[in-house]
Structure formats: structure tokens, C-alpha cells
Amino acid sequence: PVPGNGDDASRGFWSSRLAFILAATGSAVGLGNIWKFPYVTGENGGGAFVIVYLICIAVIGVPIMMAEVFLGRNGRHNPITSMRLVAERNLKSPAWRVSAVVGMLAAFIILSFYSVIGGWSASYVEHALVGDFAGGTADSINAIFSDLLASPIQLLIWHTVFMALVVLVVSRGLKGGLERVATILMPTLLVLLLVAVGYAMTTGHFGEAVSFLFKPDFSALTFNAVLIALGHAFFTLSLGMAVMMAYGSYLRRDISIGRTAISVAFMDTAVALLAGLAIFPVVFSFGLEASAGPGLIFQTLPLAFGNIPMGWLFGTLFFILLLFAAWTSAISLLEPVVEWVEEKTSLARAGSTIVVGVLCWALGIASILSLNVWSDVTPLGMFERFEGKTIFDLLDFFTANVMLPLSGLLTALFVGWAVAKESLKLDLALDGTAFTLWYNAIRYVTPVAVLVVFAYNLLA
């Protein structure tokens, strides 16, 4: 066998079950948990939304994660080749691999703008550290954010820094790169988050945050909120982007996919809830709006950091936490495409990473310019539903609303209907009842739920 190219051991494995869990949790825990979860929860009325979100994670997210890890481990190649191999072993059409193609394309596009937002986090570490928020007013804090978005040069510098950090890790490969960074950053992140929650407990508004997050008011729940919850469950668990397939391809066969996927989903959920418990008490103690939207952590929170004792320190720690979370997620977005290039070309690990990283960095420039110089450029503006949408908006819209559900749907259909049941039983290592639950979820519940969201997003 060609080294690195096949089933041979030289391709490498995660050193342990824990190493895989930390790396996969590193992928899952990201901007989605710390930036997006609190603000979508805020926008959608709190508790009832959280319950629907938890149901989506358990009933749809976990089963798809298991399916993706299964495909990667069974194929033991890059996601596209893995899916083809699994299809062939089950005497099914190799065309099923289109699911991985769509997922990898989505990963590449998403990384291009995820890196821009990762760059915002890095720039906010600096702002907090040098005391730019100190004594700030709503206007001065908002100005920091809008000045950043208005400056292509600033955005480009931070996007470049962030992408360089990602390329650095991925180019070092599985053990020296992905695994090492996850084992250092994930425990650090957890400690920082607990410090943040500890601080939030001293604000006197902790109880308010707890009831906001956990007291359901079902009258505030709309159909749209249910769809957002499902979409977010996908995004937060890094599904539909071939990432869990790529990570699964390095997982030893004697490790239970079922238990492992549940651990990752549990950690991801715990971090999202803890982030809510860290952020909302601070927001409430300053009488700020929980429904502030995407600006919640870049505008609302810095206002608080600027006006509390030792705010520069808590602010710096908070944005470092955000940066670490974004970093390990971005690493996982780059991995599937790099794995593919490495296996399909004569380029080695480092070369593959640099080629893909540079292309992705270049695409990110389109998103940067969409925020300022090209803010009036709306390529699909002639269609009513895309009116006013910049290139950045369109990339976000098509990946989140078209590519991810499509890839997720095809994955569920493939694993649920085309792969032999015996092979699934063997690989997932779930006991009888758990297997039956999972099998029905992947065959029926998931495809139906994803189709409903898909149809609604496209037609409504």
C-alpha cells in the first residue's frame, strides 16, 4: 500500500478515545456555542427554544453524527473516497459520494468566512487587553465594532492571522497538530468558561439568566424558531460538512461510535448552556437587551466589560476563550479538504494544507469586502428574496440553508437505506434498544425533519 494513502497504519489513528472526543468536541464547540447560541436563544424567547433545541440535538443531531463517524471509519479515507468505498462494499452506486462532495464544498466556503469572524475574536482580545473598552458607553463600544467592519485592512490582517494559525496546526498532521492542540485548548477553554460563569454568579442576576434559559414559555415559540433550532443543531455539532467523517477516518475500530458521539454532543450542549449562563447575567445586570442579535458578544458584552472592576482581565479571558473555540472549529473545517488533496495528489501534508489554506483565505476576502467596499454589491439582487444580500450573506445563506441540509439528508438516506444493517450493528456497537432507536431515527425521523426544513427554507 502507498503510505498515507490506504488502509495501512501509517495513515495514523487518534491515540485514544479521549483524544478523539477532545478533537471532535473542539470541532463542535465554536462560535456556534458562544456567539450564536446565546443570541438566537435571546431572539427566540429563551426556555422554550432551548427545549426544542435539546430535542433536535438528541433526536437528529446525535444520530447523524454517528452516521458520519461510521462512514469515515468504515472508509478510512477522505470523506469522498470513504463514501465511495462504503457504497461499493454495499453494492450501491458510487454516486452517493455526492453527499461528501457537497459537505466538503460547504466546509471550504464556511471556513472562508468563519475565519473572518475568528479574526474579529482575535482583534477583540487585543481591544480588551489594551483597555479599549474601559469606561465605554454604548456609542463608543459600537464604534469599535463598526470601525472594524468598515476597515478592509484591519479585517484582512486579522483574517490572515487567524487563517495562519489554522494552517499551522493542520499542516502538522493528526497527532502533532489536531490532537495536540485539542488536548491543550479544550481543557483550557472549559476552565475559562467556568471562571466566566463564576463571575456571572457574582452579578446578582444569575437567577434571572437561569429562568430565561430554562423556564419555557411555549407561547413565544414559532414554527420559524423550531426551524432555527434544527438548523443550529446541525451547525453546532459540525454536521453536514464531512468533518465528522474526516475525524472518524482516524478512529480505531474497537471504540464505540455510539457512546463517543453522545459524549461529544453532551459536551457541546454543556458549553452552549454554560456560555448562556456566563453571558446573560452580565447582560441583565447592565439592563441590556437579551435579544440584541449578532452584536450580543461584540457590542453588548464589551460594554459590560468596560464598566466592571477588572473588566479588562475578564474581557481578555472571554475573547481568548472565543478565539480558542473558533480556532479548533476552523481546524476541523480545513481537515476534510486537506485530507482529500493529500490523498488525491502527490502533495504531502504541509503542501496540501498551504494550497487549500491560501485558496480559502483568498475566498475570505470576498466576505471582508462585503462588509464595506462591496456592501452594495448584491449579485442575486434581481431576485426578490435575495434583495440586499451581499456576497457574504449569500455564501452564508447557501451553505446553511441548501448545502448542509442536502448533505445531511443524503448522508441519512445513504446510511439508513443503502448500508447493510449488519455492518451498522457491528460498527456502532450499540445495544439492542439503542440500536433500534438510532436506526429508526436515521431512516425516518432525520430525513423527514431535514426535508421539512429544506422545503420551508427554499419556499417560504
* Out of 235, 298, 324, 327, the residue judged to bind ligand PFF by CB under 6 A: 235
Query: How far is residue 86's CA from residue 92's CA, in Å, rounded to a whole number?
Result: 8
Instruction: Verify binding: residue 238, ligand PFF, rule CB under 6 A.
Output: yes
Spatial distance between the Cα atoms of 89 and 248, rounded to a whole number of angstroms? 18
Per CB under 6 A, does 228 bind ligand PFF? no
Q: Which partner, ligand PFF, Na ion, none, binds residue 407 by CB below 5 to 8 Å per kind?
A: none
Q: Which is nearer to Na ion, 267 or 366 (CB)?
A: 267
Alpha-carbon gap, residue 241 to 243, rounded angstroms: 5
CA neighbor of 326 nearest in space, from 258, 387, 400, 238: 238
Q: Shortest Cβ distance from residue 367 to ligand PFF (Å)?
A: 16
Binding mask 9-48 for ligand PFF (x = CB under 6 A): ------------------xx-xxxx---------------
- Residues with Cβ within 8 Å of 432's Cβ and at least 6 positions away in sequence, in order, are none
333 binds ligand PFF (CB under 6 A): yes
Q: Which of residues 240-259 bind ligand PFF (CB under 6 A)?
A: 241, 243
d(CA 213, CA 276): 7
Of 371 and 400, which has the nearer Cβ to ligand PFF?
400
Minimum CB separation of residue 26 from ligand PFF in Å reads 9
| 332 near ligand PFF, rule: CB under 6 A | yes
How many alpha carbons lie under 13 Å from residue 297 in its C-beta half-sphere? Answer: 28
Residue 60 is placed in which grid cell?
Answer: 437528529
- Cα separation, 140 vs 97, in Å, equals 50
Among 25, 27, 33, 390, binds Na ion (CB under 5 A): 33
Q: Least distance from C-beta 93 to ligand PFF, angstroms?
A: 26
Taking only Cα atoms into account, the Rg of the chain, rounded to an integer number of angstroms, comes to 21
| 81 forms part of the interface with ligand PFF (CB under 6 A) | no
- Joined together, the cell numbers standing for residue 154 give 484591519
Q: How far is the CB of 329 from ligand PFF (least distance, A)?
A: 4
Q: Give the sign of the dihedral formed by CA 143, CA 149, CA 152, CA 158.
A: positive
Determine the Cα–Cα distance for residues 322 and 330; give it in Å rounded to an integer.
12
Query: Using the rule CB under 6 A, is 274 a contact of ligand PFF?
Result: no
User: Distance of CA 15 to CAs 178, 179, 251, 276, 443, Å?
Assistant: 11, 8, 9, 33, 32
By beta-carbon proximity to Na ion, the closer residue of 189 and 371 is 189
Which among 24-32, 107-115, 330-338, 364-372 is the span making contact with Na ion, rule CB under 5 A? 24-32
Which residues lie closer than 8 Å to 266 by C-beta, 6 or more apart?
A: none
Among 50-58, 74-82, 142-150, 232-240, the segment contacting ligand PFF (CB under 6 A):
232-240
Nearer to ligand PFF, 107 or 323 (CB): 107
**Nearest residue to ligand PFF, scored by beta-carbon proximity:** 32
User: Shortest approach of Na ion to residue 246 CB, angstroms?
Assistant: 17
Write the burial class of residue 390 (CB in 10 Å: 0-12 exposed, 13-18 middle, 19+ buried).
buried
337 binds ligand PFF (CB under 6 A): no
CB of 421 to ligand PFF, least distance (A): 28
Number of Cβ within 10 Å of residue 230's Cβ equals 24
Q: Is 115 in the site for ligand PFF (CB under 6 A)?
A: no
Report in angstroms how near the CB of residue 386 gets to Na ion at its nearest: 27
Nearer CB in complex with ligand PFF: 240/311: 240
241 binds, among Na ion, ligand PFF, none (CB under 5 to 8 A by kind): ligand PFF
Q: Is 300:288 a contact under the CB 8 Å cutoff?
A: yes
Contacts of 287 (CB under 8 A, 6+ apart): none
Q: Is 236 in the site for Na ion (CB under 5 A)?
A: yes
Please tell me the distance from the alpha carbon of residue 226 to that of residue 51, in angstroms, as a whole number: 10
How many residues make contact with ligand PFF (CB under 6 A)?
15
Please choose, out of 21-29, 83-91, 274-282, 364-372, the segment that lies near Na ion by the rule CB under 5 A.
21-29
Residue 119 C-alpha cell reads as 479574526
Task: Give the cell for residue 53.
Answer: 433545541
For residue 96, the partner it binds in ligand PFF, Na ion, none, with Cβ less than 5 to 8 A by kind, is: none
**Between 257-285 and 206-214, two packed helices, what is the crossing angle to 10 degrees?**
130
Please report how close the Cβ of residue 269 comes to Na ion at its closest, in angstroms.
9
Which residues of the chain form contacts with ligand PFF (CB under 6 A)?
A: 27-28, 30-33, 107, 235-236, 238, 241, 243, 329, 332-333
Which residues of the chain form contacts with Na ion (CB under 5 A)?
A: 28, 32-33, 236, 268
